[in-house]
């Protein structure tokens, strides 16, 4: 029987890449593997499987592929070894798909040594005052974490001894399990993936190689941080296992609510009450800032809600950019608990002002005109 084109056998184009060839081989091998084909189809499936294997052996080798592309089957006759059966040189089903299922069920083949694991990252919530967040500060924090055991040097074995190679997996950390026609790798139940076992554990860490400890760290908080910002302390997380690198510590910043100021990005806001007389006559008031007090000029006739901007009295952003401003919103305060004389003076002022309301209270007068027009329009 004449041989089919190897590219046709795998169902690929002649310019297929190595990855495409390997992918096609897996697909065809799974389709025609005898473990998946029984009864009347078994004999045909076995022939197809041999054909697929032979095609892959030629096309996956650059030199053999070049010879095949130039001379066809004549250039590679006898080059495809092991195309006989499933014994001897034949590829087993687990060999074909071991690298795929090994990743799913616990990693690929091990090199026969302990696998190192990076330590876990830690998070610490740091609460700051607005003043410290804006100006920057340095704080001491205490962090409970796992560190390498000093007694055994992180090996977990008693000083003078050392971990032994696991007899179950022979140091691989993985064991191959047969599940139907699949052969998959799983974590070794004896050493739990370490590849070694500790026969004489360290008394200080009980064989873990790590002990729990509270570390005191100094955290430098840069100026301008805000709630939600994180400060990374490299290598200050949990110790790694089997000699792996430590994790990192992330300090999560949270800024406490301030009794005077609120922050919006680089700007600060505050609300300041001013006396009725100051709003009417104008004058100066003292405004608090994070740098101290400053003078603010209040124009005559200032109304509640007016905003005043104090340039560069806000926050210098931690990621760069111009310093923000302080926005002051004034609230005119109505006098309360008037005595007799004060009430008389206010009443006298009211009579004096009411003579020409449109002049002294333009907002109120304009609003009343709008109300009258509204009632007229609706027929009331």
User: What's 200-245 look like in SS3?
Assistant: CECCCCCCCCEEEEEEEEEEEECCCCCCCCEEEECCCCCCCECCCC
One digit per residue, pLDDT tens: the chain, 380 residues? 567 888 888 999 988 898 889 888 888 888 887 767 766 677 888 888 888 888 898 998 888 888 888 777 777 776 555 444 433 334 444 444 444 443 334 344 444 445 667 888 999 999 999 999 999 999 999 988 878 888 888 888 889 888 888 888 888 888 877 665 566 778 888 887 778 888 889 988 888 888 888 889 999 999 999 999 999 999 998 888 767 788 899 999 999 999 999 999 999 999 999 999 999 999 999 999 999 999 999 999 999 999 999 999 999 999 889 999 999 999 999 999 999 999 999 899 888 887 665 566 667 666 666 766 666 666 65
Looking at residue 95, what is its pLDDT? 44
Could you report how far apart the first and last alpha carbons of the chain are, in Å? 106
pLDDT in the model for residue 184: 74
For position 179, what pLDDT does the model report?
Answer: 62
Q: What domains, with CATH codes, occur in the chain?
A: 6-91 (1.10.287.110), 122-255 (2.10.230.10), 262-333 (2.60.260.20), 340-377 (no CATH)
pLDDT for res 90: 42
Residue 18 CA, distance from chain mean position? 35
């Amino acid at each position: 029987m004449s041989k089919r084109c190897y590219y046709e056998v795998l169902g690929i184009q002649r310019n297929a890449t190595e990855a495409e060839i390997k992918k096609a081989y897996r697909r065809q091998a799974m389709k025609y593997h005898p473990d998946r084909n029984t009864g009347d189809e078994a004999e045909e499936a076995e022939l197809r499987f041999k054909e697929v294997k032979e095609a892959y052996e030629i096309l996956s080798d650059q030199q053999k592929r070049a010879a095949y592309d130039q001379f066809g089957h004549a250039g590679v006759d006898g080059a495809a070894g092991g195309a006989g059966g499933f014994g001897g040189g034949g590829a087993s089903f687990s060999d074909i798909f071991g690298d795929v299922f090994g990743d799913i069920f616990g990693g690929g083949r091990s090199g026969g040594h302990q696998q190192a694991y990076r330590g876990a990252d830690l998070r610490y919530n740091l609460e700051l005052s607005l003043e410290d967040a804006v100006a920057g500060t340095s704080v001491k924090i205490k962090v409970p974490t796992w560190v390498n055991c000093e007694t055994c040097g992180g090996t977990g074995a008693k000083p003078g001894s050392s971990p032994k190679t696991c007899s179950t997996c022979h140091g691989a950390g993985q064991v191959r399990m047969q599940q139907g026609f699949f052969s998959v790798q799983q974590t070794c139940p004896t050493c739990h993936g370490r590849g070694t076992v500790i026969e004489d554990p360290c008394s200080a860490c009980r064989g873990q190689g790590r002990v729990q400890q509270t570390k005191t760290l100094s955290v430098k908080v840069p100026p301008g941080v805000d709630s939600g910002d994180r400060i990374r302390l490299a290598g200050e997380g949990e110790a790694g296992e089997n000699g792996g690198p430590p994790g990192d510590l992330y300090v999560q910043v949270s800024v406490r609510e301030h009794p005077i100021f609120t922050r919006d990005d680089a700007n600060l806001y505050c609300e300041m009450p001013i006396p009725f007389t100051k709003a009417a006559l104008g004058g100066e008031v003292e405004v608090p800032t994070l740098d101290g007090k400053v003078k603010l000029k209040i124009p005559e006739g200032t109304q509640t809600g007016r905003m005043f901007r104090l340039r560069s009295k806000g926050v210098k952003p931690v990621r760069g950019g111009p310093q923000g401003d302080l926005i002051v919103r004034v609230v005119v305060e109505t006098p309360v608990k008037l005595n007799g004389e004060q009430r008389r003076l206010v009443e006298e002022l009211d009579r004096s002002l009411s003579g020409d309301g449109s002049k002294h209270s333009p907002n109120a007068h304009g609003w009343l005109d709008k109300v009258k027009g509204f009632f007229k329009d609706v027929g009331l």
